[in-house]
């Protein structure tokens, strides 16, 4: 796999020209579409409190008398509840908007943390062949062999203090759990890149000038690794957003009552209330789809430019 | 009537709304049984025009004009009819036989497919035909080699297999696109002989594409010279070589100096033979052991050579001769398994922990073959050239800037390149930057490992002239590694000939090339194309 | 080749050992007092102490690990350690059954789910990927890419819910009962019912995987189609169908095999979401219930199983791609 990635990353070299690249990416239809979608989601996340203030509906506030019908079932879309209510009489629209915040607040830091850790490990492993490399590669293998969800469940159990209260903020824990798995991806990518770069003539030329090891990594190798790694940040982000949603869906991610798309969908499914109030499911579902699609489209646009074949 | 004629052919490539024109109105023709050479540098459109004429370009290419093969216009034929002509009536031989053969299919299967694509043949009969073909193109022991994969074949044998595919159905025309470019000279000579023999035996017409007028001189009946997608000059071979009409043809002929330079043999100008050597490599041995392998591979055996002040020594040999390994050892990038290298009497590279003292590190510099790989793609030319000063001196920034500007001028580049990235430079410009970096600290020795092989022939001449001038101005000695005897004869005072990791002969260029004592040297010299034609 | 395999096997064993130790340590920290979890609500201190001793929870963790590996808990005189014959992975607190037996009883479901989905998604991905690569940027390519992006962007749990809503719930309100909403029938009992019960779960997994694989197939096909040996094949007059399916696909297959092996391994370690939505009693569900319920021998067992499958898949993929590569010795 890593060989493919390296080959992909190197196919782009001819196209590297700092600013024209940005222009070329913006010329890609998929990147533009993605930017618009992601822009909408970011805006929604930022404006969630405004929407809450305008409607007077807090994200966790229950409106049992207005939003639940006499038989206890939630109402559908209406003038006051644009996407209707959930089983507890909360406003689905407001909760969906707040869910965008959680998605981004988990996805972005988790991916960034994974990038930093993985790139560091990959740099060291790639630059020091032999024992260091073998040890770090074994570490990567071990991390990859753990089943994601079961391990996440155990970690959540680990987080329960003596009194049953969580020790770490659950949102922070989800960030840590996701980056604990996602760093391997960046480590393998970076290691592959560095192994190729290490044997390139320009590195040997730098060595024969008398450049120190540190300067070699910082000046010659890192500048060639970072742009590629940054591209894969954009590719990995939607994957991690989905991971958060999956954990929350299974009840081990972001905990109720905090609104997350994953736990909203889980609630809709568990109570089967989406069969009478489809927006209970479709609100967070569509939001989730749009977000992930947007980031995927941006990632694909960037890759189209940097690697025209793929 | 011509067998195959191309008239007013134009090829444009469209990509993301932008179009570039590769071929602008090219015409040429080949008669049955004759050989037409299509010559030009990279980007001249010589290959593209042939691929375009036969429908082998990717779909984003647009081809206009006509390409008549026995009266049928290939550019207008429906795909199925065109497919029926390719392989059966027109055979193809491409440049790099490794990338042109399918890595996962056996040689026999790939040659057999050339037959089964057009005919129904039983398995046993097919195998017999493939064996015959392998024998015909001179592959020894075909019974054993037929089921090998391409990676087990040497470069020359792969090219023979490609030729077997091309002649499988005895086509009227063979298009050979730079068929010998990636090969060693002796192999190149044998492939050229094979093509000529097959052509005579079957009366096939041949279109031979090359960047090198010398290679073509031995086999072409007619020559077409191309540049920037246009035909510059077209004439019968004898006429073109004797009296080139166009200035560009003369330039190309001048650059393809191989045969001529060998005869001219320059007088050794500077160094006296008695002066003490600047750099001495003595009794170098090098062997590698692959991981998990018992037997080791010996790259160098007892190699000794000297380099004197202000001297340019050529190190020649074919691929696998160990010449690059010597370069890496001399440059201090690899450690020999035995022997030593010393600079002015001080040993700096030997087995064990011997190191060039930091003060001497800048004294030996390298220039690599690949102009794409030898510059950091993310750093500007200014940053790359400032690096030697930043690392090795305490000069203030303004002074470094001044030195970098002087350096750029010294290698004849405009100051405007300073703020560009390598991707924005041509191959020749990149190689100039790499040379500038190497001479920045005025080293005693520069190891130049095939510095011109990746460049166009006219650019090669310019870089060779630059190296000669730098030696005169700075007094730097060069160890010039090359597979191209013509360039070595042109540039070097002394030459060291390597074969399979051993020095077979060394001495002044004029002596070695005029009066070779070793049979291998003689074979190398005899393989140089175009020599017979002009001597 | 043999040496390569030996090196790989050593690395695989080291990986598994590391996973085992980490998991063991983690469960000991996470379930600080399993005795309290296990004991009946109003158990006396005596009962608690008894459980603690029985499980050797009063010993240091490394002795516990040693005991776990070497002999395991004695259940009615039968040792349950990894190094006994038959090797076992301990005894479930909750279900009062050996862990190995528990896992083995769940494997048919998970295996059916993963393998069936693999066949569907691989076939469709290769067909769609080749079709898209044949004419890049044509309308066929665009539609297929759009579909694969959609598949990639819908979380599995949403796909599952929507499929079960439309193809099970809505259809059944019209009296059409093609696809059951949940449950499993063994293939040996009734192959048709087996396939019918698994159809929706297979589809759920396939949708997400096609989103990944269609693009991988397309990209690798385009890569292969742009290479020189494809031009050689065309120059010989080989038909386009053969160019695509024999020449290009065979060269493009390695990354697909690699990724396919790893995805399959991940699914066999427990397709947790899919199992949950369609009420399939597989390994994933066992693992989740154990983790939630503090049944740590089962947590360790399922984690080791997943890791072993992953390691084995990496190994198998490596061997297969090496066998396909004539340049590897």
Flag whether residue A2 sits within 8 Å of chain C, measured between CB atoms: no
| Structure confidence at residue B498 as a pLDDT band (50, 70, 90) | very high
Going by pLDDT thresholds of 50, 70 and 90, the confidence category of residue A92 is confident
Contact A201 B368 (CB under 8 A): yes
- Report the relative pairing of strands B445-449 and B61-69 from DSSP bridges: unpaired
Residues of B in contact with C251 (CB under 8 A): 102-104
A242 or A78, which is more confident?
A242
What's the pLDDT score for residue B346?
Answer: 86
Closest residue, chain C, to B153 (C-alpha): C327
Question: Which token pair is C299?
Answer: 């947590």
User: A12 to chain B: which residues are within 8 Å by CB?
Assistant: none
User: Helix or strand or coil: residue B89?
Assistant: coil
Instruction: Show the tokens assigned to C76.
Output: 């009615």
Q: Is the pLDDT at B16 greater than 70, yes or no?
A: no
pLDDT band at A161 (very low <50, low <70, confident <90, very high): low
Per the CB < 8 A criterion, the answer to whether B206 and B36 are in contact is yes
Cα separation, B257 vs B489, whole angstroms: 10
First and final C-alpha spacing in chain C: 6
**pLDDT confidence of residue A190:** 93
Residue position matching structure tokens 């970690």: A155
Chain C residue with minimum CA distance to B175:
C235
CB distance A146–C223 less than 8 Å? no
SS (H, E, C) B110-169: HHHHHHHCCCCCCHHHHHHHHHHHHHHCCCCCHHHHCCCCHHHCCHHHHHHHHHHHHHCC
> Highest mean pLDDT: which of A9-23, B334-348, C283-297?
B334-348
What pLDDT, on the 0 to 100 scale, is given for residue B51?
A: 93
Nearest-CB residue to A201 (from B15, B370, B388): B370
Name the neighbours of A, counting chains with at least 3 Cβ pairs within 8 A: B, C
What are the two backbone dihedrals, phi and then psi, of residue B22, each rounded to the nearest 5 degrees? -100, -35
pLDDT band at B291 (very low <50, low <70, confident <90, very high): low
Q: What is the mean pLDDT of residues B129-135?
A: 93
Pull the structure tokens for residue C87. Answer: 């090797």
Overall residue count recorded for chain A in this entry: 310
Confidence of residue C129 (pLDDT cuts 50, 70, 90): very high
Distance CA B94, CA B110 (A): 14
pLDDT digits (tens, 9 = 90+) for B315-326: 998 888 888 899
Global pTM value: 0.83
Which of A15, A204, A206 is the closest to B387 by Cβ? A206
Arithmetic mean of pLDDT, B383-404: 91
CA dihedral for B31, B32, B34, B37, sign (positive or negative)? positive
Mapped onto helix, strand or coil, the DSSP state of residue B428 is helix
Distance CA B194, CA B183 (A): 14
Tell me the torsion sign for CA atoms B259, B260, B265, B270.
Answer: negative
pLDDT reading at A13 higher than 60: no
- Residue B305's nearest CA partner among B340, B270, B337 is B340
Looking at the DSSP assignment, which residues form a beta bridge with residue B286? B300
* pLDDT tens digits for range C204-236: 999 989 988 998 899 899 888 888 999 999 999
Dmax (CA) of chain C: 86
Q: Using 50, 70 and 90 to split pLDDT, how confident is the model at A10? A: very low
SS3 content of chain B, % helix, strand, coil (to 5): 40, 25, 35
**Most A-contacting residue of C33, C150, C157, C299 (CB-CB within 10 A), to test interface:** C157
**Whole-angstrom distance, CA of residue C245 vs CA of residue C249:** 5
Give yes or no for a cis peptide into B455 (omega within 30° of 0): no
Residue A164 binned pLDDT confidence (cut-offs 50, 70, 90): low
Which stretch of DSSP H or E encloses residue B507? strand B502-508
pLDDT of A265-294, one tens digit each? 888 888 888 888 888 888 899 999 999 999
* Cα distances (Å, whole numbers) of residue B535 to B259, B457, B522, C3, C242: 7, 21, 16, 56, 50
Is the pLDDT score of A19 beyond 60?
no
Report in angstroms the alpha-carbon separations of A179 from A117, A138, B487, C208.
9, 18, 57, 22
Minimal Cα–Cα distance from A206 to chain C, Å?
33
Q: Give the mean pLDDT of A188-211.
A: 89
Describe the strand order of the beta sheet including B4-15 as a list of residue ranges. Answer: B18-30, B4-15, B61-69, B72-73
Q: Give the number of C-alpha atoms closer than 13 A to the C-alpha of residue B145, restricted to the C-beta side.
A: 23
SS3 B348: strand
Q: Please report the pLDDT score of residue C77 as a whole number.
A: 58
> According to the model, what pLDDT value does residue B456 have?
83
pLDDT(C94) > 90: no
Does residue C72 carry a pLDDT above 90? no
Rounded to a whole number of angstroms, the distance from the CA of C170 to the nearest CA of chain A is 10
Q: Is the pLDDT of residue C327 over 90?
A: no
Q: Is the pLDDT of residue A5 over 70?
A: no
CA distance B432 to A243: 51
At B535, the pLDDT band (50, 70, 90 cuts) reads very low
- Residues of chain A in contact with residue C165, where contact means CB-CB under 8 angstroms, are 274-275
Give the list of residues 6+ apart from residue C138 with CB closer than 8 angstroms, or none: none
- Which residues from B are below 8 Å from C250, CB to CB? 102, 104-105
Contact B528, B262 (CB under 8 A): yes
Q: What is the DSSP letter of C169?
A: I
What pLDDT sits at residue C143?
93
Please list, in sequence order, all residues whose beta carbon lies within 8 angstroms of the beta carbon of residue C141, skipping any fewer than 6 positions away.
Answer: C131, C132, C133, C135, C218
| Cα separation, A5 vs A9, whole angstroms | 6
- C-alpha C25/C-alpha C21 separation (Å) is 6
Kindly report, residue by residue over C240-270, the tens digit of the pLDDT.
Answer: 889 998 899 988 888 899 889 988 988 887 6
**Does residue A91 register a pLDDT over 90?**
no
CB contact under 8 A, B113 and C236: yes
> CA of B197: how far to CAs of A164, B137, B202, B319, in Å?
89, 10, 9, 26
Cα separations in angstroms, B294 against B290, B335, C6, C150, C156? 8, 21, 17, 54, 52
Mean pLDDT across the stretch A235-251?
A: 89
pLDDT tens digit string along B142-201?
998 999 998 888 888 999 999 999 999 999 999 999 888 878 888 888 889 999 899 988
Taking CA A307 as the corner, what is the angle to CA A302 and CA A309, rounded to the nearest 5 degrees? Answer: 125
* More confident: B410 or B535: B410
Tokens of C190: 């009734």
pLDDT in tens, A130-144: 889 989 989 998 998
Q: State the CB neighbour count (10 A cutoff) for residue B382.
A: 18
Per the CB < 8 Å rule, is A154 touching C32? no
The pLDDT, as a whole number, for residue B519 is 92
In this structure, of A200-214, B280-294, B357-371, the range with the lowest mean pLDDT score is B280-294
Contact B287, B297 (CB under 8 A): yes
pLDDT tens, position by position, B328-351: 999 988 889 999 999 988 888 888
Grade residue B260 by pLDDT with cuts at 50, 70 and 90: very low
d(CA A119, CA A132): 15
Output A179 or A253, whichever has higher pLDDT.
Answer: A179
CB neighbour burial string for B25-47, b if at least 16 within 10 angstroms, e if fewer: ebebbbeebbbbbbbbbeebbbb
What DSSP string describes C225-244? HTSHHHHHHHHTT--HHHII
Q: Where are the alpha helices (DSSP H) in B295-396?
A: 323-330, 381-392
- The number of helices, as runs of H, and strands, as runs of E, in chain C is 15, 0
Instruction: Output A159 or A186, whichever has higher pLDDT.
Output: A186
The answer to whether B474 and B225 have CB atoms below 8 angstroms apart is no
pLDDT at A191 over 80: yes
Tens of pLDDT, residues A143-155: 988 888 888 887 8
Angle made by CA atoms A197, B476, B454, in degrees to the nearest 5: 45
> Residue range A234-258: average pLDDT?
86
């Amino acid at each position: 796999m890593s060989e493919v990635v390296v080959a992909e990353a190197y196919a782009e070299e001819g196209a590297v020209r700092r600013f024209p690249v940005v222009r070329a990416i913006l010329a890609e239809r998929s990147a533009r579409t993605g930017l618009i979608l992601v822009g909408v989601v970011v805006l929604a996340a930022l404006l969630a409190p405004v929407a809450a203030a305008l409607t007077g509906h807090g994200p966790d506030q229950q409106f049992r008398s207005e939003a639940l019908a006499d038989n206890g079932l939630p109402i559908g879309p209406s003038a006051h509840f644009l996407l209707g209510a959930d089983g507890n009489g909360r406003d689905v629209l407001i909760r969906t908007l707040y869910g965008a915040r959680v998605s981004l607040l988990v996805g972005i830091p988790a991916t960034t943390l994974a990038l930093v850790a993985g790139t560091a490990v990959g740099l060291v492993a790639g630059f020091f062949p032999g024992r260091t490399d073998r040890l770090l590669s074994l570490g990567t293998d071990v991390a990859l062999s753990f089943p994601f969800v079961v391990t996440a469940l155990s970690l959540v159990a680990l987080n329960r203090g003596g009194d049953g209260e969580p020790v770490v903020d659950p949102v922070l824990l989800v960030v840590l759990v996701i980056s604990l798995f996602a760093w391997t991806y960046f480590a393998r990518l970076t290691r592959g890149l560095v192994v190729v770069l290490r044997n390139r003539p320009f590195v040997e030329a730098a060595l024969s000038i008398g450049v120190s090891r540190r300067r070699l990594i910082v000046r010659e190798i890192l500048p060639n690794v970072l742009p590629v790694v940054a591209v894969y940040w954009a590719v990995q982000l939607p994957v991690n957003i989905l991971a958060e949603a999956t954990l929350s869906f299974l009840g081990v991610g972001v905990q109720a009552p905090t609104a997350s798309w994953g736990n909203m969908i889980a609630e809709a499914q568990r109570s089967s209330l989406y069969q009478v109030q489809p927006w209970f499911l479709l609100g967070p579902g569509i939001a989730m789809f749009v977000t992930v699609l947007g980031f995927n489209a941006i990632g694909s646009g960037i890759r189209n430019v940097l690697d025209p074949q793929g | 009537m011509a067998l195959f004629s191309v008239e007013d052919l134009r090829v444009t490539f469209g990509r993301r709304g932008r179009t570039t024109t590769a071929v602008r109105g090219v015409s040429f023709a080949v008669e049955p049984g004759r050989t037409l050479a299509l010559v030009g540098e990279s980007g001249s459109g010589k290959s593209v025009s042939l691929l375009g004429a036969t429908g082998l370009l990717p779909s984003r290419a647009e081809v206009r004009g006509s390409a008549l093969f026995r009266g049928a216009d290939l550019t207008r034929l429906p795909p199925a009819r065109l497919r029926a002509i390719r392989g059966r009536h027109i055979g193809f031989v491409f440049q790099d036989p490794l990338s042109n053969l399918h890595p996962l299919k056996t040689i026999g299967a790939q040659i057999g497919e050339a037959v089964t694509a057009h005919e129904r043949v039983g398995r046993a009969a097919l195998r017999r035909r493939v064996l015959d073909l392998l024998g015909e193109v001179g592959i020894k022991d075909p019974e054993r080699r037929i089921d090998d994969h391409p990676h087990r074949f040497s470069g020359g044998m792969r090219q023979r297999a490609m030729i077997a595919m091309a002649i499988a159905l005895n086509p009227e025309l063979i298009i050979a696109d730079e068929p010998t470019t990636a090969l060693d000279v002796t192999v190149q000579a044998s492939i050229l002989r094979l093509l000529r023999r097959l052509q005579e035996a079957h009366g096939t017409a041949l279109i031979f594409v090359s960047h090198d007028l010398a290679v073509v001189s031995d086999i072409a009946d007619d020559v077409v010279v191309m540049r920037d997608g246009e035909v510059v000059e077209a004439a019968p071979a004898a006429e073109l070589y004797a009296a080139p009409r166009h200035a560009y043809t003369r330039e190309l002929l001048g650059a393809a100096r191989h045969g001529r330079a060998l005869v001219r043999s320059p007088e050794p100008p500077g160094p006296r033979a008695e002066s003490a050597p600047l750099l001495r490599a003595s009794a170098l041995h090098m062997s590698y052991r692959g991981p998990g392998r018992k037997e080791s591979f010996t790259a160098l055996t007892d190699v000794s050579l000297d380099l004197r002040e202000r001297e340019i020594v050529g190190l020649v040999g074919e691929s696998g001769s160990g010449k690059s390994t010597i370069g890496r050892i001399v440059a201090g990038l690899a450690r020999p398994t035995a022997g030593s290298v010393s600079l002015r009497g001080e040993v700096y590279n030997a087995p064990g922990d011997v190191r060039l003292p930091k003060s001497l590190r800048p004294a030996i510099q390298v220039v690599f073959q690949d102009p794409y790989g030898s510059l950091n793609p993310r750093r500007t030319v200014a940053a790359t050239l400032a690096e030697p000063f930043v690392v090795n001196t305490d000069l203030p920034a303004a002074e470094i800037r001044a030195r970098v500007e002087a350096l750029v001028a010294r290698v004849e580049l405009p100051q405007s390149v300073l703020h560009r990235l390598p991707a924005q430079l041509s191959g020749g410009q990149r190689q100039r930057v790499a040379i500038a970096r190497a001479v920045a600290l005025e080293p005693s020795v520069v190891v130049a490992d095939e510095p011109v092989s990746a460049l166009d022939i006219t650019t090669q001449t310019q870089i060779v002239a630059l190296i000669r001038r730098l030696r005169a101005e700075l007094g730097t000695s060069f160890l010039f590694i090359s597979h191209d005897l013509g360039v070595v004869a042109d540039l070097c005072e002394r030459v060291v000939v390597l074969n399979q990791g051993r020095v077979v002969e060394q001495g002044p260029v004029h002596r070695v090339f005029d009066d070779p004592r070793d049979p291998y040297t003689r074979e190398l010299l005899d393989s140089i194309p175009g020599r017979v034609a002009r001597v | 080749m043999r040496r390569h395999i030996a090196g790989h096997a050593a690395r695989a064993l080291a990986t598994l050992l590391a996973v085992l130790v980490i998991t063991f340590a983690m469960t000991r920290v996470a379930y600080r007092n399993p005795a309290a979890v296990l004991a009946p609500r109003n158990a006396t201190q005596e009962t608690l102490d008894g459980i603690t001793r029985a499980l050797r929870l009063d010993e240091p963790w490394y002795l516990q690990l040693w005991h776990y590996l070497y002999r395991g808990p004695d259940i009615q005189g039968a040792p349950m350690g990894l190094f006994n014959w038959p090797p076992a992975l301990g005894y479930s607190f909750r279900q009062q059954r050996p862990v190995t037996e528990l896992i083995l009883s769940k494997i048919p479901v998970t295996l059916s789910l993963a393998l069936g989905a693999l066949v569907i998604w691989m076939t469709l991905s290769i067909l769609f990927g080749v079709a898209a690569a044949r004419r890049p940027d044509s309308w066929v390519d665009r539609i297929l890419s759009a579909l694969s992006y959609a598949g990639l962007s819908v979380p599995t749990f949403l796909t599952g819910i929507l499929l079960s809503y439309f193809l099970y719930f809505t259809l059944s309100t019209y009296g059409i009962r093609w696809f059951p909403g949940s449950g499993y029938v063994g293939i040996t009992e009734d192959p048709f019912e087996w396939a019918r019960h698994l159809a929706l779960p297979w589809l759920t997994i396939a949708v997400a995987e096609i989103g990944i694989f269609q693009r991988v197939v397309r990209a690798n096909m385009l890569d292969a189609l742009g290479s020189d040996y494809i031009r050689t094949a065309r120059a010989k007059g080989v038909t386009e169908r053969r160019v695509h399916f024999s020449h290009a696909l065979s060269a493009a297959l390695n990354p697909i095999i690699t990724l396919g092996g790893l995805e399959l391994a991940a699914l066999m370690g427990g397709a947790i979401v899919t199992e949950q939505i369609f009420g399939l009693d597989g390994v994933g569900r066992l693992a989740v219930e154990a983790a939630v319920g503090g049944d740590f021998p089962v947590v360790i067992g399922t984690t080791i199983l997943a890791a072993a499958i992953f390691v084995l898949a990496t190994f198998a993929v490596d061997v297969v791609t090496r066998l396909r590569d004539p340049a590897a010795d």
